[in-house]
Structure 1
């Protein structure tokens, strides 16, 4: 088990010129996440929510047609979600939904040839993620107060009272398992430090099913972020 964890632990650390060994490191950064949400073709107005991610990766070089490519699996803990304007009989406010995910990305990286010792790279690859729960919060304007509750992953026929009722404990985030595509571009600042900008596009419709069938609702994750990585 320890060897498995070490092999998953890592970062986006790419070998410099003449280096061919596997590199292990750690990564951490911030993100802005949102959702694409439609109900019966009516688009819900949502906004980006600030979150974070951290974890480990392992980067291994592979040679294909004399190109310096790398494969980079990893394991990350991330906080995503969205926010939107909210209004009910208590007044107006801000509604935030912030789930946690364990993500396993597998990126393929390409080092862009250059004449310096620094590495510029781009990457693309799939990811799979599992929702771990989280919290929603309604923060009203003025002194009305705040309400908080949990996030659940459930069939509509099994869930607790409607998620938009402030007396309800849970927001139904739909399907727990998510998958999609990662895109990134990065730069090696110093020998052991790298910075990268990345985007993520969810491909699975996470809308809650009813009796096992997804209806006319469309609910997908998207995110943008920036992170730093350090070579151990």
Structure 2
């Protein structure tokens, strides 16, 4: 499936939600990304990678003033890093893995007034994402003291999202194109700004051709702090 068709489909999906939104916000955020390294889903904090997100979030009220549905379309970075040794010394090695996704989160939010126009919000929901770009950067110093630095594009499998139980184009060294998982979010919003903390729990393994339901190893974990400009 061609990437432009996937991106167009993602945008149309978000557009269908946004058409029902009563308000929205432009969001920017700092991502603290990682990848689980154990079967039970734990991460190594030393592998945390700093990335970013930017996008649009909608707000659809659900009858009560306390409940709303929050769809979004985000360009967001995930991944992790590995580092051994000290920069400049023999044996030093560092690699960063930073795939970029178009992500559609859909959260159900509960909002409680805390004074004036300010509200506290908390919510959760699913997300779906498609990998569209990304880099693997490697640097280091060999045992002879020679430094090296290289950068390669991340290669994704050519998957078709309509065949949920089958991954087309899987192969060694390829990253699974489609990611999905669960979100949790909390924060404070006012008349014009919204400050939030979010956590994304990936349920799909990164390596193409692997069984995502086998265990929780090799899955995205993203903690983010976001600022929304309401419109």
1:150 aligned residue (153, 161, 167): 153
Matches within 5 A, 1:114-125: 114-125=114-125
Alignment partner, residue 34 of structure 2? 34
TM-score after normalising by structure 2: 0.74
**TM-score (structure 1 length as normaliser):** 0.74
Runs (5+) with no aligned partner, structure 2: 1-7, 158-167
| Residue aligning to 1:68 | 66
CA drift at 1:80: 1.2
How big is the alpha-carbon RMSD for the aligned residues of Structure 1 and Structure 2?
Answer: 3.3
Q: Aligned pair 1:49/2:49, yes or no?
A: yes
Question: For residues 120 and 80 of structure 1, what CA distance do their matches in structure 2 show?
Answer: 27
Residue 178 of structure 2 is matched in structure 1 by 177
**CA drift at 1:112:** 2.1
Rate the CA distance shift 1:116–1:172 in 2: closer, same or farther, 3 A: same
Unaligned runs of 5+ in 1: 11-20, 160-170
Structure 2 CA distance for partners of 1:213 and 1:58, relative to 1, 3 Å: closer
More strand by percentage: 1
User: 1:111-165: per-residue Cα shift (whole Å, max 9, x none)?
Assistant: 1243443111111110001111311011214760211112112489744xxxxxx
Matched residue, 1:78: 76
Larger radius of gyration: 1
Alpha-carbon deviation of 1:194? 1.2
CA offsets 1:175-218 (integer angstroms, 9 cap, x no match):
11111111111112x411111111110112233317x9998993
Paired position in structure 1 for 2:126? 126
